Structure 1
Amino acid sequence: MEPYLPMLAQTPLFASLTQEELPHMLSCLQARHKKFEARQFILHETDSTEDLGVVLHGQVQIITEDAFGNRSITAKLGPGELFGQVAASKLAPSSPVSVMTDSESEILLLKFNKLVTPCTRACSFHSRVIENMMNVLAERNLMMNRKLSILSQRTMREKLLTYLVWQSHDKGSTTFSIPFNRDELADYLCVNRSALSREISKMIEEGIISSERNHFTLYDHSPL
Protein backbone atom coordinates (compact mmCIF):
# COMPACT_ATOMS: atom_id res chain seq x y z
CA MET A 1 0.00 0.00 0.00
CA GLU A 2 2.90 2.36 0.61
CA PRO A 3 3.26 3.52 -3.03
CA TYR A 4 -0.39 4.68 -2.96
CA LEU A 5 -0.22 6.67 0.28
CA PRO A 6 0.63 10.03 -1.38
CA MET A 7 -2.31 9.61 -3.78
CA LEU A 8 -4.70 8.51 -1.00
CA ALA A 9 -3.76 11.57 1.06
CA GLN A 10 -5.14 13.70 -1.79
CA THR A 11 -8.47 11.85 -2.12
CA PRO A 12 -11.74 13.39 -0.88
CA LEU A 13 -12.17 10.64 1.73
CA PHE A 14 -8.75 11.08 3.35
CA ALA A 15 -8.30 14.82 2.83
CA SER A 16 -6.65 16.51 5.85
CA LEU A 17 -4.90 13.29 6.95
CA THR A 18 -1.12 13.11 6.80
CA GLN A 19 0.75 10.20 5.23
CA GLU A 20 1.81 9.23 8.76
CA GLU A 21 -1.82 9.04 9.93
CA LEU A 22 -3.08 7.12 6.89
CA PRO A 23 -1.69 3.65 7.77
CA HIS A 24 -3.41 3.83 11.18
CA MET A 25 -6.67 4.89 9.56
CA LEU A 26 -6.47 2.10 6.97
CA SER A 27 -5.88 -0.40 9.77
CA CYS A 28 -8.99 0.90 11.57
CA LEU A 29 -11.02 0.42 8.38
CA GLN A 30 -9.68 -3.12 7.79
CA ALA A 31 -8.38 -2.10 4.38
CA ARG A 32 -7.66 -4.77 1.76
CA HIS A 33 -5.91 -4.27 -1.54
CA LYS A 34 -7.27 -6.30 -4.51
CA LYS A 35 -6.39 -6.49 -8.20
CA PHE A 36 -8.98 -6.99 -10.98
CA GLU A 37 -8.72 -7.80 -14.67
CA ALA A 38 -10.22 -5.54 -17.33
CA ARG A 39 -14.01 -5.88 -17.75
CA GLN A 40 -14.32 -7.78 -14.46
CA PHE A 41 -17.24 -7.15 -12.12
CA ILE A 42 -16.31 -5.97 -8.65
CA LEU A 43 -19.94 -5.75 -7.55
CA HIS A 44 -23.13 -6.97 -9.22
CA GLU A 45 -26.47 -5.25 -8.97
CA THR A 46 -28.49 -6.98 -6.18
CA ASP A 47 -25.27 -8.12 -4.41
CA SER A 48 -24.95 -7.47 -0.71
CA THR A 49 -21.67 -6.06 0.57
CA GLU A 50 -20.12 -4.46 3.65
CA ASP A 51 -17.32 -2.82 1.69
CA LEU A 52 -16.93 0.48 -0.06
CA GLY A 53 -14.19 0.75 -2.65
CA VAL A 54 -11.56 3.32 -3.56
CA VAL A 55 -9.96 3.13 -7.00
CA LEU A 56 -6.18 2.99 -6.61
CA HIS A 57 -5.28 2.34 -10.23
CA GLY A 58 -7.30 2.01 -13.44
CA GLN A 59 -10.94 2.93 -13.96
CA VAL A 60 -14.34 1.47 -13.07
CA GLN A 61 -17.80 1.97 -14.52
CA ILE A 62 -20.97 2.32 -12.45
CA ILE A 63 -23.69 0.50 -14.40
CA THR A 64 -27.43 -0.02 -14.11
CA GLU A 65 -29.66 -2.27 -16.22
CA ASP A 66 -33.42 -2.07 -16.70
CA ALA A 67 -35.88 -4.97 -16.86
CA PHE A 68 -35.23 -5.32 -20.62
CA GLY A 69 -31.45 -5.63 -20.23
CA ASN A 70 -30.66 -2.13 -21.46
CA ARG A 71 -27.45 -0.89 -19.88
CA SER A 72 -26.87 2.65 -18.65
CA ILE A 73 -23.54 4.01 -17.43
CA THR A 74 -24.01 6.26 -14.43
CA ALA A 75 -20.37 7.25 -14.04
CA LYS A 76 -16.79 6.33 -14.81
CA LEU A 77 -14.48 6.63 -11.79
CA GLY A 78 -10.71 6.94 -11.69
CA PRO A 79 -7.99 6.84 -9.02
CA GLY A 80 -9.05 8.27 -5.68
CA GLU A 81 -12.80 8.01 -6.33
CA LEU A 82 -15.21 5.96 -4.22
CA PHE A 83 -17.99 3.51 -5.01
CA GLY A 84 -20.32 1.16 -3.15
CA GLN A 85 -21.38 3.58 -0.42
CA VAL A 86 -25.12 2.91 -0.71
CA ALA A 87 -24.80 -0.88 -0.75
CA ALA A 88 -22.28 -0.93 2.11
CA SER A 89 -24.34 1.45 4.24
CA LYS A 90 -27.34 -0.93 4.12
CA LEU A 91 -29.60 1.98 3.15
CA ALA A 92 -30.76 -0.44 0.44
CA PRO A 93 -31.16 -4.21 0.90
CA SER A 94 -28.72 -4.81 -1.96
CA SER A 95 -26.57 -2.86 -4.38
CA PRO A 96 -28.62 -0.68 -6.75
CA VAL A 97 -25.79 -0.71 -9.31
CA SER A 98 -23.09 -2.91 -10.75
CA VAL A 99 -19.43 -1.90 -10.68
CA MET A 100 -17.16 -3.18 -13.46
CA THR A 101 -13.52 -2.44 -14.23
CA ASP A 102 -12.85 -0.54 -17.44
CA SER A 103 -9.22 -1.66 -17.48
CA GLU A 104 -6.86 -3.61 -15.25
CA SER A 105 -7.47 -2.02 -11.88
CA GLU A 106 -6.40 -2.05 -8.26
CA ILE A 107 -9.03 -1.39 -5.62
CA LEU A 108 -8.85 -0.58 -1.93
CA LEU A 109 -11.75 -2.15 -0.04
CA LEU A 110 -12.79 -0.62 3.29
CA LYS A 111 -15.33 -1.74 5.90
CA PHE A 112 -18.10 0.87 5.84
CA ASN A 113 -19.28 0.17 9.40
CA LYS A 114 -15.74 0.77 10.68
CA LEU A 115 -15.72 4.13 8.92
CA VAL A 116 -18.97 5.51 10.34
CA THR A 117 -18.47 4.13 13.87
CA PRO A 118 -15.88 5.84 16.09
CA CYS A 119 -13.12 3.34 16.77
CA THR A 120 -12.19 2.01 20.19
CA ARG A 121 -8.82 3.76 19.95
CA ALA A 122 -10.60 7.13 19.75
CA CYS A 123 -8.41 8.17 16.81
CA SER A 124 -8.21 11.94 16.61
CA PHE A 125 -8.41 11.72 12.82
CA HIS A 126 -11.37 9.34 12.59
CA SER A 127 -13.93 12.13 12.99
CA ARG A 128 -12.26 13.99 10.11
CA VAL A 129 -12.74 10.98 7.83
CA ILE A 130 -16.42 10.71 8.83
CA GLU A 131 -16.88 14.38 7.91
CA ASN A 132 -15.08 13.80 4.62
CA MET A 133 -17.42 10.90 3.90
CA MET A 134 -20.43 13.18 4.31
CA ASN A 135 -18.91 15.54 1.76
CA VAL A 136 -18.31 12.63 -0.64
CA LEU A 137 -21.95 11.54 -0.32
CA ALA A 138 -23.14 15.10 -0.98
CA GLU A 139 -20.98 15.33 -4.08
CA ARG A 140 -22.25 11.97 -5.35
CA ASN A 141 -25.83 13.15 -4.82
CA LEU A 142 -25.04 16.23 -6.91
CA MET A 143 -23.67 13.98 -9.65
CA MET A 144 -26.87 11.92 -9.67
CA ASN A 145 -29.00 15.06 -9.84
CA ARG A 146 -26.95 16.18 -12.82
CA LYS A 147 -27.55 12.85 -14.56
CA LEU A 148 -31.30 13.14 -13.94
CA SER A 149 -31.28 16.66 -15.37
CA ILE A 150 -29.54 15.41 -18.52
CA LEU A 151 -31.96 12.51 -18.99
CA SER A 152 -34.95 14.82 -18.48
CA GLN A 153 -34.08 16.75 -21.66
CA ARG A 154 -36.55 16.01 -24.44
CA THR A 155 -34.26 15.42 -27.41
CA MET A 156 -30.99 13.63 -27.95
CA ARG A 157 -29.34 16.90 -28.96
CA GLU A 158 -30.48 18.60 -25.76
CA LYS A 159 -29.19 15.69 -23.67
CA LEU A 160 -25.82 15.78 -25.41
CA LEU A 161 -25.45 19.56 -25.24
CA THR A 162 -26.44 19.65 -21.57
CA TYR A 163 -23.78 17.05 -20.82
CA LEU A 164 -21.13 18.84 -22.89
CA VAL A 165 -21.86 22.23 -21.33
CA TRP A 166 -21.40 20.75 -17.85
CA GLN A 167 -18.16 19.10 -18.93
CA SER A 168 -16.98 22.44 -20.32
CA HIS A 169 -17.82 24.19 -17.04
CA ASP A 170 -16.08 21.50 -14.99
CA LYS A 171 -12.90 21.69 -17.12
CA GLY A 172 -12.97 25.48 -17.34
CA SER A 173 -12.54 25.38 -21.11
CA THR A 174 -14.63 25.07 -24.26
CA THR A 175 -12.16 22.44 -25.48
CA PHE A 176 -12.06 19.31 -23.35
CA SER A 177 -11.99 15.52 -23.26
CA ILE A 178 -14.78 13.41 -21.80
CA PRO A 179 -14.23 10.10 -19.94
CA PHE A 180 -16.41 8.07 -22.35
CA ASN A 181 -15.89 6.55 -25.78
CA ARG A 182 -18.82 6.78 -28.20
CA ASP A 183 -20.48 3.53 -27.05
CA GLU A 184 -20.16 4.55 -23.40
CA LEU A 185 -21.48 8.04 -24.10
CA ALA A 186 -24.57 6.50 -25.71
CA ASP A 187 -25.04 4.31 -22.64
CA TYR A 188 -24.61 7.31 -20.34
CA LEU A 189 -27.19 9.36 -22.26
CA CYS A 190 -29.49 6.33 -22.67
CA VAL A 191 -29.67 6.74 -26.46
CA ASN A 192 -28.93 4.59 -29.50
CA ARG A 193 -25.26 4.59 -30.44
CA SER A 194 -25.81 4.94 -34.21
CA ALA A 195 -28.35 7.72 -33.71
CA LEU A 196 -25.92 9.53 -31.40
CA SER A 197 -23.14 9.33 -34.00
CA ARG A 198 -25.48 10.79 -36.64
CA GLU A 199 -26.50 13.61 -34.30
CA ILE A 200 -22.88 14.44 -33.51
CA SER A 201 -22.10 14.53 -37.25
CA LYS A 202 -25.02 16.94 -37.82
CA MET A 203 -23.87 19.19 -34.99
CA ILE A 204 -20.36 19.28 -36.47
CA GLU A 205 -21.77 20.21 -39.90
CA GLU A 206 -23.84 22.97 -38.31
CA GLY A 207 -20.79 24.40 -36.56
CA ILE A 208 -22.16 23.77 -33.06
CA ILE A 209 -19.29 21.52 -31.96
CA SER A 210 -16.17 19.87 -33.27
CA SER A 211 -15.22 16.39 -32.15
CA GLU A 212 -12.52 13.79 -32.59
CA ARG A 213 -13.01 10.58 -30.59
CA ASN A 214 -13.67 11.72 -27.01
CA HIS A 215 -12.26 15.22 -27.55
CA PHE A 216 -14.78 18.04 -28.05
CA THR A 217 -14.84 21.76 -28.70
CA LEU A 218 -18.06 23.52 -27.77
CA TYR A 219 -18.57 26.83 -29.55
CA ASP A 220 -19.96 29.94 -27.87
CA HIS A 221 -23.11 29.95 -29.95
CA SER A 222 -24.06 26.39 -28.95
CA PRO A 223 -27.81 26.43 -28.23
CA LEU A 224 -29.41 24.65 -25.31
Structure 2
Amino acid sequence: MDLTKNILFKGISEYDCGRMLKCMNPYEKVFRANETISRFDHSNDTIGVIISGSASIVRYDVNGNKTILEQLSENSIFGECLAFANLTDDGVTIYADSECTVSFIKYDQITKRCSNACACHTRLVENLFYMISLKTLNLSERVEILSQRSIRSKIMCCFNINAMKSGKNSFELPFSLSSFADYICVDRCAMMRELKKLKDEGIIDINRKNVKLLEQ
Protein backbone atom coordinates (compact mmCIF):
# COMPACT_ATOMS: atom_id res chain seq x y z
CA MET A 1 0.00 0.00 0.00
CA ASP A 2 1.20 3.50 -0.87
CA LEU A 3 1.35 5.71 2.24
CA THR A 4 -0.08 8.63 0.24
CA LYS A 5 -3.31 6.62 -0.26
CA ASN A 6 -3.99 6.70 3.48
CA ILE A 7 -6.95 8.76 4.70
CA LEU A 8 -4.45 11.02 6.47
CA PHE A 9 -3.53 12.42 3.03
CA LYS A 10 -7.08 12.57 1.62
CA GLY A 11 -7.69 15.63 -0.55
CA ILE A 12 -3.97 16.31 -1.01
CA SER A 13 -2.46 16.01 -4.48
CA GLU A 14 0.16 13.39 -5.25
CA TYR A 15 2.70 16.15 -5.83
CA ASP A 16 2.01 17.81 -2.46
CA CYS A 17 2.03 14.41 -0.72
CA GLY A 18 5.49 13.79 -2.13
CA ARG A 19 6.73 17.16 -0.89
CA MET A 20 5.22 16.64 2.57
CA LEU A 21 6.64 13.14 2.96
CA LYS A 22 10.11 14.44 2.13
CA CYS A 23 9.66 17.00 4.91
CA MET A 24 8.17 14.50 7.39
CA ASN A 25 10.80 11.84 6.67
CA PRO A 26 8.73 8.77 7.67
CA TYR A 27 10.48 5.45 8.20
CA GLU A 28 9.25 1.88 7.73
CA LYS A 29 9.82 -1.19 9.86
CA VAL A 30 8.75 -4.83 9.46
CA PHE A 31 7.52 -6.78 12.49
CA ARG A 32 7.10 -10.53 12.89
CA ALA A 33 3.85 -12.04 14.18
CA ASN A 34 3.41 -11.48 17.96
CA GLU A 35 6.24 -8.93 18.01
CA THR A 36 5.72 -5.66 19.89
CA ILE A 37 5.23 -2.75 17.50
CA SER A 38 4.85 0.08 19.99
CA ARG A 39 3.96 0.99 23.56
CA PHE A 40 1.94 4.01 24.59
CA ASP A 41 4.16 5.74 27.11
CA HIS A 42 6.04 9.00 27.57
CA SER A 43 8.68 7.96 25.02
CA ASN A 44 6.14 7.39 22.22
CA ASP A 45 6.28 10.37 19.87
CA THR A 46 5.13 8.86 16.57
CA ILE A 47 2.02 8.05 14.58
CA GLY A 48 2.04 4.63 12.94
CA VAL A 49 0.37 3.59 9.68
CA ILE A 50 -0.19 -0.11 8.93
CA ILE A 51 1.13 -0.61 5.40
CA SER A 52 0.47 -4.36 5.33
CA GLY A 53 -0.59 -7.06 7.78
CA SER A 54 -2.66 -6.67 10.94
CA ALA A 55 -2.13 -5.78 14.59
CA SER A 56 -3.98 -5.38 17.89
CA ILE A 57 -3.92 -2.64 20.51
CA VAL A 58 -3.92 -4.53 23.82
CA ARG A 59 -4.12 -3.45 27.44
CA TYR A 60 -3.12 -5.56 30.44
CA ASP A 61 -4.41 -4.55 33.87
CA VAL A 62 -2.46 -4.90 37.12
CA ASN A 63 -3.70 -8.50 37.45
CA GLY A 64 -2.51 -9.44 33.98
CA ASN A 65 -5.98 -9.59 32.43
CA LYS A 66 -5.90 -8.89 28.70
CA THR A 67 -8.30 -6.59 26.86
CA ILE A 68 -8.16 -5.97 23.11
CA LEU A 69 -8.88 -2.26 22.66
CA GLU A 70 -8.76 -2.15 18.87
CA GLN A 71 -8.00 -4.30 15.85
CA LEU A 72 -5.76 -2.70 13.22
CA SER A 73 -5.63 -3.70 9.55
CA GLU A 74 -4.03 -2.31 6.40
CA ASN A 75 -4.42 1.48 6.21
CA SER A 76 -5.18 1.79 9.95
CA ILE A 77 -3.49 4.51 11.96
CA PHE A 78 -2.57 4.29 15.63
CA GLY A 79 -1.24 6.77 18.14
CA GLU A 80 -3.13 9.86 17.01
CA CYS A 81 -5.68 9.79 19.85
CA LEU A 82 -2.87 9.75 22.40
CA ALA A 83 -0.76 12.39 20.70
CA PHE A 84 -2.07 15.15 22.94
CA ALA A 85 -2.00 13.19 26.22
CA ASN A 86 0.97 13.11 28.57
CA LEU A 87 0.73 9.40 29.31
CA THR A 88 3.07 7.39 31.46
CA ASP A 89 3.00 3.60 31.63
CA ASP A 90 -0.64 2.65 31.02
CA GLY A 91 -0.05 -0.97 29.98
CA VAL A 92 -1.21 -0.32 26.40
CA THR A 93 0.83 -2.15 23.76
CA ILE A 94 0.47 -2.82 20.03
CA TYR A 95 1.30 -6.36 18.89
CA ALA A 96 1.60 -7.64 15.32
CA ASP A 97 -1.02 -10.34 14.63
CA SER A 98 0.80 -11.31 11.44
CA GLU A 99 3.92 -10.11 9.68
CA CYS A 100 3.34 -6.40 9.62
CA THR A 101 4.92 -3.43 7.83
CA VAL A 102 4.45 -0.10 9.60
CA SER A 103 5.37 3.43 8.57
CA PHE A 104 6.13 5.84 11.42
CA ILE A 105 5.80 9.63 11.34
CA LYS A 106 6.85 11.97 14.14
CA TYR A 107 3.93 13.71 15.88
CA ASP A 108 5.44 17.16 15.60
CA GLN A 109 5.88 16.76 11.84
CA ILE A 110 2.09 16.61 11.57
CA THR A 111 0.81 18.83 14.38
CA LYS A 112 3.24 21.73 13.91
CA ARG A 113 2.43 24.04 11.03
CA CYS A 114 5.19 24.65 8.54
CA SER A 115 6.56 28.17 8.11
CA ASN A 116 4.60 28.62 4.87
CA ALA A 117 1.29 27.61 6.51
CA CYS A 118 0.52 25.79 3.25
CA ALA A 119 -3.00 24.63 2.42
CA CYS A 120 -1.95 20.98 2.13
CA HIS A 121 -0.64 20.98 5.72
CA THR A 122 -3.91 22.54 6.87
CA ARG A 123 -5.77 19.72 5.12
CA LEU A 124 -3.48 17.16 6.77
CA VAL A 125 -4.37 18.48 10.24
CA GLU A 126 -8.08 18.50 9.31
CA ASN A 127 -7.78 14.84 8.26
CA LEU A 128 -6.08 14.02 11.54
CA PHE A 129 -8.94 15.51 13.57
CA TYR A 130 -11.45 13.69 11.36
CA MET A 131 -9.70 10.43 12.18
CA ILE A 132 -9.82 11.27 15.89
CA SER A 133 -13.59 11.76 15.56
CA LEU A 134 -13.88 8.30 13.95
CA LYS A 135 -11.88 6.82 16.81
CA THR A 136 -14.24 8.50 19.26
CA LEU A 137 -17.22 6.95 17.48
CA ASN A 138 -15.59 3.52 17.66
CA LEU A 139 -14.93 4.00 21.36
CA SER A 140 -18.57 4.90 21.97
CA GLU A 141 -19.60 1.66 20.22
CA ARG A 142 -17.16 -0.23 22.43
CA VAL A 143 -18.65 1.36 25.55
CA GLU A 144 -22.11 0.32 24.36
CA ILE A 145 -20.92 -3.29 24.02
CA LEU A 146 -19.16 -3.42 27.38
CA SER A 147 -22.08 -1.77 29.18
CA GLN A 148 -24.31 -4.76 28.40
CA ARG A 149 -24.94 -6.82 31.53
CA SER A 150 -24.85 -10.37 30.15
CA ILE A 151 -22.49 -12.28 27.87
CA ARG A 152 -25.33 -12.86 25.41
CA SER A 153 -26.17 -9.16 25.32
CA LYS A 154 -22.52 -8.25 24.70
CA ILE A 155 -22.24 -10.77 21.87
CA MET A 156 -25.45 -9.67 20.17
CA CYS A 157 -24.69 -5.97 20.61
CA CYS A 158 -21.32 -6.46 18.90
CA PHE A 159 -22.83 -8.61 16.14
CA ASN A 160 -25.59 -6.07 15.47
CA ILE A 161 -23.06 -3.24 15.21
CA ASN A 162 -20.96 -5.25 12.74
CA ALA A 163 -24.04 -6.17 10.70
CA MET A 164 -25.09 -2.52 10.55
CA LYS A 165 -21.62 -1.49 9.36
CA SER A 166 -21.52 -4.19 6.68
CA GLY A 167 -25.05 -3.39 5.54
CA LYS A 168 -26.09 -7.05 5.62
CA ASN A 169 -26.80 -9.86 8.07
CA SER A 170 -23.56 -11.74 7.36
CA PHE A 171 -20.08 -10.48 8.13
CA GLU A 172 -16.61 -11.63 9.15
CA LEU A 173 -15.20 -10.87 12.58
CA PRO A 174 -11.86 -9.03 12.37
CA PHE A 175 -10.27 -11.44 14.86
CA SER A 176 -10.39 -15.03 16.14
CA LEU A 177 -13.04 -16.16 18.63
CA SER A 178 -10.37 -16.28 21.33
CA SER A 179 -9.52 -12.64 20.66
CA PHE A 180 -13.23 -11.83 20.43
CA ALA A 181 -13.63 -12.98 24.05
CA ASP A 182 -10.84 -10.60 25.05
CA TYR A 183 -12.47 -7.82 23.02
CA ILE A 184 -15.82 -8.08 24.83
CA CYS A 185 -14.08 -8.83 28.16
CA VAL A 186 -15.64 -12.21 28.95
CA ASP A 187 -14.38 -15.71 29.72
CA ARG A 188 -13.76 -17.61 26.48
CA CYS A 189 -15.40 -20.86 27.62
CA ALA A 190 -18.51 -19.02 28.82
CA MET A 191 -18.66 -17.12 25.53
CA MET A 192 -18.37 -20.31 23.47
CA ARG A 193 -21.26 -21.86 25.44
CA GLU A 194 -23.39 -18.79 24.75
CA LEU A 195 -22.51 -18.84 21.05
CA LYS A 196 -23.59 -22.48 20.88
CA LYS A 197 -26.92 -21.60 22.55
CA LEU A 198 -27.49 -18.75 20.11
CA LYS A 199 -26.78 -21.10 17.20
CA ASP A 200 -29.00 -23.89 18.59
CA GLU A 201 -31.83 -21.39 19.10
CA GLY A 202 -31.60 -20.31 15.46
CA ILE A 203 -30.58 -16.75 16.29
CA ILE A 204 -27.17 -16.87 14.61
CA ASP A 205 -25.12 -19.09 12.35
CA ILE A 206 -21.39 -19.00 13.02
CA ASN A 207 -18.44 -20.78 11.44
CA ARG A 208 -15.12 -19.63 12.86
CA LYS A 209 -15.00 -15.89 12.12
CA ASN A 210 -17.97 -15.90 9.74
CA VAL A 211 -21.22 -14.81 11.39
CA LYS A 212 -24.76 -14.61 10.05
CA LEU A 213 -27.71 -13.13 11.93
CA LEU A 214 -30.79 -15.21 11.17
CA GLU A 215 -34.21 -13.64 10.74
CA GLN A 216 -36.48 -14.02 13.74
Instruction: Normalising by structure 2, report the TM-score.
Output: 0.94
> Identity percentage over the alignment?
29
Given that 1:9 and 1:16 are in contact with CA atoms closer than 8 Å, whether structure 2 keeps it comes out as no
Question: How far does residue 121 in structure 1 lie from its aligned partner after superposition?
Answer: 4.4
Q: Within the alignment, does 1:206 sit opposite 2:184 as a pair?
A: no
Where 2:8 maps in the other structure, the secondary structure is: coil
Question: How far does residue 174 in structure 1 lie from its aligned partner after superposition?
Answer: 0.1
Where 2:15 maps in the other structure, the secondary structure is: coil
Question: How far does residue 71 in structure 1 lie from its aligned partner after superposition?
Answer: 0.4
Structure 1 residue aligned with 2:164? 169
Aligned equivalent of 2:143, options 144, 148, 151? 148
Q: Deviations over 1:63-86 (max 9, x none)?
A: 111111000001111111110124
Structure 1 residue aligned with 2:11? 16
Which runs of 5 or more structure 2 residues have no equivalent in the other structure?
none
Distance in 2, matches of 1:169 and 1:43, equals 31
Q: Within the alignment, does 1:125 sit opposite 2:120 as a pair?
A: yes
Distance in 1, matches of 2:212 and 2:119, equals 47
Question: How far does residue 116 in structure 1 lie from its aligned partner after superposition?
Answer: 1.0
Structure 2 residue aligned with 1:40? 35
Amino acid corresponding to residue 38 of structure 1 in structure 2: A
CA gap of 1:34–1:121, structure 2 versus 1, over 3 A, is: farther
Which runs of 5 or more structure 1 residues have no equivalent in the other structure?
none
Distance in 2, matches of 1:157 and 1:202, equals 9
Question: How far does residue 41 in structure 1 lie from its aligned partner after superposition?
Answer: 0.7
Question: How far does residue 21 in structure 1 lie from its aligned partner after superposition?
Answer: 2.2
Q: Within the alignment, does 1:26 sit opposite 2:26 as a pair?
A: no
Aligned residues: 215
Structure 2 residue aligned with 1:91? 85
Q: Deviations over 1:124-171 (max 9, x none)?
A: 311101000000001001111111110000000000000000000101
Q: Within the alignment, does 1:57 sit opposite 2:52 as a pair?
A: yes
Instruction: Normalising by structure 1, report the TM-score.
Output: 0.91
Distance in 2, matches of 1:127 and 1:117, equals 10
Given that 1:60 and 1:102 are in contact with CA atoms closer than 8 Å, whether structure 2 keeps it comes out as yes
Question: How far does residue 33 in structure 1 lie from its aligned partner after superposition?
Answer: 1.0
What is the CA RMSD across the aligned residues, in angstroms?
1.5
Distance in 1, matches of 2:77 and 2:137, equals 14
CA gap of 1:60–1:95, structure 2 versus 1, over 3 A, is: farther
